[in-house]
Amino acid sequence: MEQRTRPQAILVAAGSNLETGGILPAEQLEKARTALGIRGWRLIRASRYYHTPAWPEGAGPDFVNAVFLLEAREEGPTELLRDLHVIEALAGRERSLRWAPRSLDLDLVAWGERTEPDRATFKAWRDMSPERQAREAPDCLILPHPRMHERAFVLVPLVEIAPDWRHPVLDRSAQELLAALPAKARAAIKPLTG
């Protein structure tokens, strides 16, 4: 008898801080959710939308952020990343400057317990200075995202939908990672109302 493997949960951080063609940031996130489903990715859970300060500080207008918990069956991270880039492009995303304002930003931040391409690459990007981070971008997919554990705009919505998710390298839950951030960073992330 063929043994079935359990589908792995995957995490996508979504953000927008530019109105494009009359579409507001929160609407961009809503359209992205729909587009993921159209492209065959099953949404298990989505956080509320949060108003968050631009990152890095002063990099542009404030963002609307969320985290989507997806399930994949046979597709892999490379296929999802390709689909995320297609969805961003359809939303008018232009990749000019690193951390520039954007109509839509979809980041694959974790795929089950995978560490890709390896722990050494993860560690090198995690430990990179902010100055180098601003100038350089990885030439391959790094999972989990090497700085997700430092970003309240990822962790606050993540804790809402998957508080017990464990970081595969740091071996800490989403709740523990969020609690380790400065109180000021956590307090700056506020749910959208109305």
How large is the C-alpha radius of gyration of the chain?
16
CB-based contacts of 53: which residues, under 8 Å, 6+ apart?
62, 63, 188
Q: Say if CB 47 and CB 103 are below 8 A apart.
A: no
For the record, the structure tokens of 50 come out as 């949060």
CA 29 from chain center: how many Å? 12
SS (HEC) of 64-109:
EEEEEEEEECCCCHHHHHHHHHHHHHHCCCCCCCCCCCCCCEEEEE
Q: Does domain 8-191 have CATH number 1.10.240.10?
A: no
Alpha carbons 96 and 75: distance in angstroms, whole number = 29
Query: Per-residue pLDDT for 105 more than 80?
Result: yes
Q: Evaluate whether 18 touches 161 at the Cβ level (below 8 Å).
A: no
The per-residue pLDDT for 98 is 55
Q: For residue 14, what is the enclosing H or E element?
A: strand 8-16
Residues taking part in catalysis? 93, 102, 105, 107
pLDDT at 33 over 70: yes
Take residue 187 and report the two structure tokens written for it: 């307090």
Q: Delimit the domains of the chain by residue range.
A: 8-191
- Nearest Cα to Cα of residue 68 among 83, 90, 89: 83
What confidence tier does 142 reach under pLDDT thresholds 50, 70, 90? very high
What is the average pLDDT score of the chain? 89
- What's the gap between Cα 180 and its chain centre? 19
Distances (CA, A) of 84 to 36, 50, 116, 149: 8, 20, 18, 21
1 has a pLDDT exceeding 50: no
State residue 108's pLDDT score: 97
Q: How many other CB atoms are found less than 10 A from the CB of residue 55?
A: 21
According to the model, what pLDDT value does residue 4 have? 39
Q: Which of 104, 111, 106 shows the shortest CA–CA distance to 77?
A: 111
What are the pLDDT digits (tens) for 49-76? 999 998 777 778 999 999 999 997 677 8
